[in-house]
Structure 1
Amino acid sequence: MSGNGGRTLPDSDFFISYTSEDRAWAEWIAWQLEQDGYRVLIQAWDMVPGSNWVHRMQAGVRESSRTVAVLSRTYLSSVYGQAEWHAAWRDDPLGERQQLLVLRVEDCERPGLLGAVVSVDLFGVDEAASRRRLHEAVRGALTGRLKPSVPPGFPGGPRAVTVRPQFPGALAEIWHVPARNPAFTGREAELSLLHKAFRTGATVHALLGMAGVGKSQLMVEYAHRHSADFDVVWWIPAEDPALIPDHLAALGRELGAPDGALTGLRDRQRWLVVFDDADDPAAVRDHLPPGSGLVVVTTRRNGFRALGEVVELGVLDRPDSVALVRRRLPAVSGEDADRLAAALGDLPLAIEQTSAYMDVTGVPVPGYLELLRTDAAALIRQGHVRHHRGTLATLWNPALRALAREHPAARQLLGVLVHLAPEPVPLDLFTAHPEVLPPPLAAAVTRPVEFANAVGALVDHYLVRRTAGELRFAHDLVRHSVRVALSREHDDAPGLSGMRVPGPFTDMPLIALDLLAAHLPGRIADAPEDLSRWQALLPHVLAACAADHPTSATAWLLDRAATFLHVHDRPEEAEPLFARAVAIAETVYGPEHPNVATCLTNYGGLLRDLGRPADALPLLERARAVDSVSEPGPRSVAANLSGIGLVLLDLGRPGEARPVLEDAFAITLEANGPGHPDVAVARRRLEAAAESEAAAAYHRRSPPLARKRLRG
């Protein structure tokens, strides 16, 4: 076999097929085999600069006696890995010459043809047991050249291996890391991304993500998987900066460094220090170890780019979410697992907590989803996750305390946002109406820099995301959790002290309603900008009006939202809103107020369009009675009379409809003048009534036979 910079190598007994993620296992296997006298071809040692590695790998599969597949989840998704083991299987499909040896290095499937090949598990046991299993797997293989009894020397040769590879299953010599999460699922792409990022040469990396997304669990898993890459791995809880020196002192004692960990790590290279859940870049900067090891900071705060590279972690991909649900709840079907993952927004902590709750209570997925829909505030307090303190209901309390202390205007802004929908909220909803807002937010929205700082504080704590003109919650469960926490701000519950700011939480839903009422036009779709504003804010109107706050703003918003839905062919959604608008208007204004008549008229018009004129007529007649004792505007009176006239026509009573429509036409003409479009509409309605009345009169005068012919 030729290659490797022109040097001719003898045929190999074993070609090691692996991915870069499993290099530690591959090198350990190669070392054991060569120590036993076998000839091994492995990319890590034999692909020196200048060689064509694709050609060498093809030649390795073709000319080596056997191929060793280092099997893992990453290997199964590798295009090159599949090509290499397929080539070995093709030459020996029945396994009579044992040309393909499958060594599993983690718990993973053996799909397709691999399922027919007997594999050996090297993981889950100590090094001695793993070595014995390896020896048994290669028993009977051909032997050849004798390997020296000591490791190779000068690293400039074609095989730069000077230190015996550490057994991948062994922990670092100095090890202080939380226990591995036995339910850890997925995140293979993220683990691969981290591994590549950590090998770029930068010393400090920040793993950034919202609370509950699994930053700490990902780093715990990474540390365990790559423990063989380090001699020192040390975990420092960094939420309280005052305790960081104590954790570093403990590391210094383990290192045997009397001057502390920072001195002890200076001359070492293979070390990893994790500052978990750090909040302040300045607090971490003062404690960064020197040297060429690796520092990783997990955080939910921005600002860590000043220390090094930032890797952002999002929620789980849906397949990983479904896999996590089914791992925790094996009896759940794939379809139900997908529905549950979707409802929880693929947030890992939410899935873990929900699974724990369902496991204990036996609540099925449909039942849980209904509870989540009707009482999310209570549900997010339920369930215990072994590796996490608290629940989703308390997850964002530290951020709320910091906002109350440092950014009261931002805290008030958040208090309004939780009463709106999870959809994007236009920022001009706030800046256009300072008169509705409490201080200090009222002043902040009039000063662009202060308002930018208030929004930025929410972004910094990973509570919301911002675009040029909008902001929205980073996750819908953030909205639920913050709403629960803020609703209890006046209680004496432990951990909630320090959240109180001017503008009590009980005022915030009313402020949200007043903001929407001030911002939305009363006329529906009179202009394109009115239509777009209603389309953007309708979800927020529905969310803000979900609770029964008997205010004038609530009644107006419900009536206008129902009218918008009615105009846009969504009458079934509009009906319950109209009913609530009437009830709240009667409570706020009294039963004989013109605003009540307006709501009754609009509700009656909807029922007529739904083909229920008999239900519409009593509402419209009630509105007419209210108009008779109040002082409504001409537009309102004309709309009510038109509605009554049209319903009477639908009920086959044109004689009663015509005088009502005559009154409606006269009022419209007087209010608007002869050229107004509303006058033309009123005239057509009156003409239709006259035609219907004439037809009915002719029908009554016709002889019975003629009427029969007319009907026939």
Structure 2
Amino acid sequence: MVRDERGRLAVDERSPFICRCAVSAIAVKNFFISYNRADQTWAEWIAWVLEEQGYTAVIDVWDFRPGSNFALAMQEAAAGAQVTVMVLSEHYLQGLYTQPEWAAAFAQDPTGAERRLLPIRVGECQPTGLLRPQIYVDLVGQSEAEAERLLLNALKERGKPDLRPSFPGGTPTAERVTPQKGTFPGKSSCVNNLPRSGAVAFVGRDEDLKQLHEQLQQTERLAITAIRGMGGIGKTELALQYAKAQLKANTYPGGICWLSAKEQNLGTEIVNFATDQLQLAVPTDIDLGRQAQLCWRQWPTAGEVLVVIDDVSGRDDIAAYRTIQPYLPPDQSRFTVLLTTRLHLGASIRSFEIKVLSEAAALALLASLIGAERLDAEREIAAALCEWLGYLPLGLELVGRFLQRKPTWTLAQLQARLEAERLAARALGQARPDMTADHESVAAAFELSWQDLDAPVQALAYRLSLFALAPIPWGWLVEWADNTDPDDLEDWRDEGLINRSLLNWVGSDTVQLHQLIREFFRHKLEGWAEAEGLKRDYCQRMVSLAEQIPQTPTRDQILALTPAIPHLAEAATTWQAWLADDSLDWPFIGLGRFYEGQGDYGQTEPWYQDGLAATRDRFGETHPAVATSLNNLAALYQSQGRYEAAEPLYQEALAMMKALLGEAHPLVATSLNNLAGLYESQGRYEAAEPLYQEALAMMKALLGETHPSVATSLNNLAGLYESQGRYEAAEPLYQEALAMMKALLGEAHPSVATSLNNLAGLYRSQGRYEAAEPLYLQAMQIDVAALGEDHPDTAIDFANLAGLFTTLDRYTDAEGFYIMALSVFVQKLGEDHPYIQATWQGFFGLVAKVVEAGQSDLLSDHPLTQSLLQQLQQS
């Protein structure tokens, strides 16, 4: 290698295509190896051969180390290399991330004059589009020596051979063989009978393949591992891809034997392999079990052997194991046995659980079937489809192949069909003959396990199918299983469902069904004689749960309720028709309280609206449940400051309550209170007062002098008097309400905090600041503990304290509380809420007061504070 007079690297005379030189880590590399993960073995072999010849290559698996930025390193490698090597296969052409790698080199050399792009075909594929005219090096089916020769010859400027060609009229010279340099990923001499894979793309299982290999290599004696999972999850495909990968890697030079546990007698399959692949002469005058053992003992080829037994099944785990036990290899370390099964076959066989695909892998699988362009055009719908299918490979492949056959269908059209027809949809029931999975449909994959379930196990499956797609507390099933021994219930769960991969643990005490298994169980439920009663029982238990949700749930109560919310929503939606008339509205009330109690009004409103619609649909326009639903929705609108929307609903509810229940009823009193509260919020004090007074008198007459509703009415009337400046009339009512709340609800209840706040506000209005401050602080402490710092009620505490501290010239304290209050209000209520407007006015008044006092240096650099300062300066 020499340098010309300008200091550039001159071209090596023996290889004018690429110069070979020693380079530093930051120097330009000769080759960038672009490949799909499925072809990693090929990529590493190519990189090794190139570097052995003195070239430099960049391949991510060698050169991108922990701590580096993968995306940046990939971009620099692709842009900085002289030539991009495409490890060409169907995996590469269908890959989502390989196209940008070769596109960069193509853009730099679109005519191919500089040969910046070097395609090397390692698997059967047909390049299309811009890649179709590219001349590639074809290594498919070549020996290692021939593959290396073809690869290195491609680097030359011309295809002229290094030696004189053989004389055509004589005997050809012997093939020149290059010594072996590690494992070659092409043809293998390893005996095997691996079936053809029907997978168009194998995605999302790289880590599974790696971990499976590590698990299989961890023992020195006979290793038996079972790939376990639900039907359609891809157990057979994972085993096949593992076997094919290890065939290329020559991990099992003694052979790879693929057996099917269900096609015929396992012993016969073993003998057939021995005679066909190993040329063993097996005596026929002994039983099949002894014949099989003779095959294992006389295995002629040296080295490790992989034995795959696919689809081990049976009535239960014991029966399944007994079908294969006589035919297993002897306890010798050279044999590695890999099973696929839905069952847990016992402690002596190590399980390898596989899960559904990730969303990214599911989308990649779908794209490999329908094309990336078609998927990207409806990507959100595609993601929703994958979610509906529970990321199950069989479901995804069936849907993808259906769309292949229906090029005019949109993904949205298919989604609608699936949601309407569920598992009966054609897209989930038309398996193709070239698929690896041999199930005719998704339902057929599950039917095999269903047929083995006893009636009590099926009954448990029916009950589980009623729940939402969320973790199910197992304690509920125990509690609801009347007159059933809990030990029996556990056996049905463990042996019947979990052992068959029909149910999964998702926590220490919660279980969950897969989306499509739940669909299958629900389909079976419709044909069960006791289905109607089971649905009504589920709904009644959900109603009982909803009735326990308080008007203002505490933070601890919300945490405890959270696991139940999806299942309560399932009762309100899917099973609404089975809710009893006297409890139809309760699931909606419970869900509304749950979200409203967190200040999450965006999620509250749909449930209250749906509750109103459901009660109207069943009962008509006039019914107590309709009136209650109107009241709930109006109260929400009032909390949001949407007074014009709230008023007609309150008025309609009040009129309906009086017409249905009479003039004197607790619900009528509640409606009076609600409408009066709205009038007070609007400053319509004269309209509010008689309603408050009527509600208070009615509550006392119906509920007695001491009741939480009476305390609420006292508070409401006192608040009105305070708004009118009638402080002497307000104070005794506030004090009576506070004492009653403490006696009835305890010292640390949010309603007590409300009463403390109200009384403190009165004292502040009277200028009794020393009396107000401890009450405000006590209210804030209760709300923070019960509701959390990000609740609107707690933000009211912050705002009240900020106003008090402003009056007391405690500017730093006031600023902090204003900022805290505004951050919660904006997040929970929206920028147009009256609370936010009032708090902004108070904050602006604080900043103006500080500026006027010449103490601006006491204010912080917080953006909100600085924004108000700028407004003052501009005005």
**TM-score normalized by the length of structure 1:** 0.69
Q: Counterpart amino acid of 2:257? A: W
CA drift at 1:149: 12
CA contact (8 A) 1:420 1:543 kept: yes
Determine if the alignment matches structure 1 residue 538 to structure 2 residue 583: no
Question: Which residue in the other structure is 2:673 paired with?
Answer: 642
CA distance in 2, matches of 1:478, 1:397: 10
CA distance in 1, matches of 2:86, 2:622: 81
> Counterparts of 1:427-576 in structure 2 under 5 Å?
427-432=474-479, 434=480, 441-444=481-484, 447-456=485-494, 457-467=496-506, 470-487=509-526, 489-490=527-528, 504-520=530-546, 521=548, 523-525=550-552, 530-547=557-574, 548-551=577-580, 552-567=582-597, 568=599, 569=601, 570-576=603-609
CA drift at 1:535: 2.8
CA contact (8 A) 1:208 1:310 kept: yes
> Counterparts of 1:198-597 in structure 2 under 5 Å?
198-201=216-219, 202-227=222-247, 229=250, 230=253, 232-238=255-261, 243-254=265-276, 255=278, 256=280, 257-258=282-283, 260-268=291-299, 269-279=303-313, 280=317, 282-283=321-322, 284-290=324-330, 291=332, 292-307=334-349, 309-330=350-371, 331-334=373-376, 335-336=379-380, 337-338=382-383, 340-361=385-406, 362-371=408-417, 376-379=422-425, 382=428, 384-386=430-432, 387=435, 388=437, 389-405=439-455, 408=456, 410-432=457-479, 434=480, 441-444=481-484, 447-456=485-494, 457-467=496-506, 470-487=509-526, 489-490=527-528, 504-520=530-546, 521=548, 523-525=550-552, 530-547=557-574, 548-551=577-580, 552-567=582-597, 568=599, 569=601, 570-583=603-616, 586=619
Aligned length: 597
Q: Counterpart amino acid of 1:454? A: W
SS in 2 for 1:274: strand
SS in 1 for 2:357: coil
> Counterparts of 1:14-33 in structure 2 under 5 Å?
none
CA contact (8 A) 2:588 2:608 kept: no
CA drift at 1:607: 5.7
CA drift at 1:322: 2.7
131, 148, 158: which is aligned to 1:134? 148
CA contact (8 A) 2:194 2:257 kept: yes
CA contact (8 A) 2:472 2:512 kept: no
Which piece of structure 1 moves more, 527-536 or 507-516?
Answer: 527-536
CA drift at 1:325: 2.0
CA drift at 1:422: 1.3
CA distance in 2, matches of 1:129, 1:469: 54
Gaps of 5+ in 1: 1-12, 31-40, 43-59, 152-158, 435-440, 491-502, 696-712
- Residue by residue, what CA displacement relative to the aligned partner does 1:653-673 show, whole Å, maximum 9, x if unpaired? 866654443231013234555
> Counterparts of 1:2-13 in structure 2 under 5 Å?
none
CA distance in 2, matches of 1:555, 1:659: 30
CA distance in 2, matches of 1:193, 1:14: 38
1:681–1:77 CA distance, 2 compared to 1 (3 A): same
CA distance in 1, matches of 2:428, 2:571: 25
Q: Counterpart amino acid of 1:360? A: R
Q: Counterpart amino acid of 2:191? A: E
SS in 2 for 1:662: helix
CA drift at 1:101: 9.2
CA distance in 1, matches of 2:588, 2:632: 11
Determine if the alignment matches structure 1 residue 627 to structure 2 residue 661: yes
**TM-score normalized by the length of structure 2:** 0.58
Q: Counterpart amino acid of 1:251? A: F
Q: Between the two proteins, what is the percent identity of the paired residues?
A: 19
CA drift at 1:217: 1.1
CA drift at 1:353: 1.8
CA distance in 2, matches of 1:179, 1:581: 51
1:24–1:142 CA distance, 2 compared to 1 (3 A): farther
Determine if the alignment matches structure 1 residue 666 to structure 2 residue 697: yes
CA drift at 1:401: 2.7
Question: Which residue in the other structure is 2:846 paired with?
Answer: none
CA distance in 2, matches of 1:225, 1:468: 34
CA drift at 1:123: 4.4
CA drift at 1:595: 5.7
CA distance in 2, matches of 1:297, 1:315: 19
- Residue by residue, what CA displacement relative to the aligned partner does 1:535-590 show, whole Å, maximum 9, x if unpaired? 32122111122133251444332333334444443442233232145337738xx9
CA distance in 2, matches of 1:332, 1:22: 25
CA distance in 2, matches of 1:583, 1:295: 63
SS in 2 for 1:207: strand
CA distance in 2, matches of 1:101, 1:652: 77
Q: Counterpart amino acid of 1:543? A: E
CA distance in 2, matches of 1:643, 1:684: 13
Q: Counterpart amino acid of 1:296? A: L
- Residue by residue, what CA displacement relative to the aligned partner does 1:201-240 show, whole Å, maximum 9, x if unpaired? 4521211223222111122222333335355433333358
Gaps of 5+ in 2: 1-19, 23-31, 69-73, 93-97, 107-115, 125-138, 164-173, 284-289, 727-875
1:651–1:628 CA distance, 2 compared to 1 (3 A): farther
CA drift at 1:464: 2.6
CA distance in 1, matches of 2:715, 2:40: 83
- Residue by residue, what CA displacement relative to the aligned partner does 1:302-340 show, whole Å, maximum 9, x if unpaired? 244422x33222223444333222211113244445554
CA drift at 1:419: 2.0
CA drift at 1:297: 0.6
CA drift at 1:423: 1.7
1:68–1:662 CA distance, 2 compared to 1 (3 A): closer
Q: Counterpart amino acid of 1:349? A: L
SS in 1 for 2:355: coil
663, 679, 684: which is aligned to 2:710? 679
40, 43, 62: which is aligned to 1:78? 62
CA drift at 1:694: 12
Q: Counterpart amino acid of 2:443? A: A
1:247–1:636 CA distance, 2 compared to 1 (3 A): farther
SS in 2 for 1:682: helix
CA distance in 1, matches of 2:53, 2:405: 54
CA distance in 2, matches of 1:138, 1:418: 61
1:23–1:342 CA distance, 2 compared to 1 (3 A): closer
